Structure 1
Amino acid sequence: MKPNDRSRVAVYPGSFDPVTYGHIDIIRRSAKQFDQVIVAVLNNTSKSPLFSVEERKEMLREVTSDLPNVTVDSFRDLLVRYMKSRNANVIIRGIRSVTDFEYELTLASTNRLLDSEIDTIFMMTDPKYSYLSSSIVKEIAMFNGNVSELVPPFVEQRLAEKYQSKD
């Protein structure tokens, strides 16, 4: 790949608070489609995440450690500016439902308006994860419910540690 060739670099942005099997499904499938996939943790100042950006990046690095073409990063800017800084021109977005699509279409259209060289690719999540969200995982974990089918074991452990420390 030439240094200025952005055609095979994709960014999968999100909060990943925490990373779920649904996210991992999208990451793994994306890694088969692109030379490089950057999983970019959004540092969203309007939200109060359970995990810090560094903790989320650490968990993402763990789940992608066997994927040599996947890197983990974070950003706190417009996504299109971040994309330029990483020589990427494809945004990957996971879709669970029609509701997700409507929201994501708005974001994709806005990003396209801001930079016409950036495309968004929507990936349907595996149907077995169509209900899964980080919010659901956190709510179940907060009440000491079983999240073993929703997140990898080390994420499950991190959730338990977080909620035990809040008691």
Structure 2
Amino acid sequence: MKRIALFPGSFDPFTKGHEDIVLRGLKLFDEVVIGIGRNANKQRYFPLEVMAELIEKTFADYPSVRVVSYDDLTANVARELGARFLLRGLRNTTDFEYENSISQVNRYVYEDVETVFLITSPPLAPISSSIIRELHRYGKNIDEFVPYRIS
């Protein structure tokens, strides 16, 4: 049976920290699906379609990585994709508290799904999408934090 992991998030933007989790996840899973969730309650900074295209280009040399966007519960999407694993990165204990609650709900919705947490590589731990958005908003160069070029 193919081991498929769904790596869900808003990825607004997708960071080098996210890239690191995907690449490390490929050592554990046969396929990693990067799922960009639509959240009606959040206004995106970077358009979803643009981010999906940039992520696809980032992993163009990795046939075991694909990108999907969705507007549903993450657990439902995992079930539809045949993913028995949710892949998540943890930068700190605050992330753990938040992600632990979500993992419990996902397990309630889809009892066969397991959440696998990978600790962020130390040099990438300070990077967050919200910090990158703020830097970009005020005209600062964000190339150091993302695995692609964005204007």
Q: TM-score if structure 2 supplies the norm length?
A: 0.95
Q: Is there any run of 5+ residues in structure 1 with no aligned partner, and where?
A: 161-167
Greater percentage in helix: 1
Bigger radius of gyration? 1
Aligned equivalent of 1:114: 109
Query: How many aligned positions are there?
Result: 151
1:58 equivalent in structure 2: 53
Residue in 1 that maps onto 2:138: 143
- Kept in 2: contact 1:20–1:134 (CA 8 A): yes
Q: Partner of 1:10 in structure 2?
A: 5
| Paired position in structure 2 for 1:31 | 26
TM-score (norm 1): 0.86
Q: SS at 2:8's partner residue?
A: strand
CA contact (8 A) 1:9 1:90 kept: yes
Q: State the Cα RMSD in Å.
A: 1.2
Q: Distance in 2 between matches of 1:144 and 1:49?
A: 18
Q: Distance in 1 between matches of 2:49 and 2:138?
A: 25
User: Identity over the aligned pairs, expressed in percent?
Assistant: 36
| Structure 2 runs not aligned, ≥5 long | none
Structure 1 stretches of 4+ moved >4 Å: none
Return the alpha-carbon distance in structure 2 between the equivalents of residues 126 and 69 of structure 1: 22
How do residues 118-137 of structure 1 correspond to structure 2 at under 5 angstroms? 118-137=113-132
Determine the C-alpha separation between the residues in 2 that align with 1:138 and 1:18: 7
Range moving further from structure 2, 48-57 or 119-128: 48-57
